[in-house]
């Protein structure tokens, strides 16, 4: 899917015309809801946060995850940076931990 996204700038559903993923132009913050809390993830933050405490009950939140093997996310639109582990994690594992925290807080089965 990532290759298709980069080549065609979007990914559509196999069984319909719905766009599942789309490349957007910067600034990213223009595409987020007004008042949305923007949180970045980084292994370099000294204190590890409990992800479940970051999950909102009412308001919107955007979580920025770096999609590269080494280095850290360096964007100017995040309001705070958090670490979710004492160890460096892959982007896939970071996303899995984030979605699991949302499932637990929201009671998704």
pLDDT digits (tens, 9 = 90+) for 3-23: 888 899 999 999 999 999 999
Fold of 32-106: Alpha/beta knot (3.40.1280)
Q: What is the dihedral of CA 80, 85, 86, 87, to 10 degrees?
A: -110
Q: Whole-angstrom Cα distance, residue 14 to residue 38? A: 31
Domain ranges of the chain: 1-27, 32-106
pLDDT of 69 higher than 80: no
pLDDT of 61 higher than 70: yes
Q: Given phi > 0 = left and psi -120 to 50 = alpha, else beta, which region is 24?
A: beta
Q: How confident is the model at residue 75 (pLDDT cuts 50, 70, 90)?
A: confident
**Which residue blocks in 1-109 are alpha helix, DSSP H?**
2-8, 51-54, 91-106
Q: Whole-angstrom Cα distance, residue 45 to residue 109? A: 31
The model carries a pTM of 0.79
Place of tokens 């009671």: 107
């Amino acid at each position: 899917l990532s290759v298709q996204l980069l080549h065609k700038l979007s990914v559509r559903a196999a069984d319909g015309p719905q766009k599942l993923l789309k490349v957007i132009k910067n600034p990213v913050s223009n595409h987020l809801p007004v008042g949305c809390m923007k949180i970045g993830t980084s292994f370099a933050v000294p204190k590890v946060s409990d992800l479940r405490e970051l999950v909102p009950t009412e308001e919107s939140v955007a979580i920025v995850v770096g999609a590269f093997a080494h280095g850290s996310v360096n964007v100017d639109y995040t309001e705070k940076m958090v670490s979710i582990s004492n160890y460096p994690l892959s982007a896939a594992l970071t996303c899995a931990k984030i979605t699991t925290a949302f499932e637990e807080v929201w009671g998704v089965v």
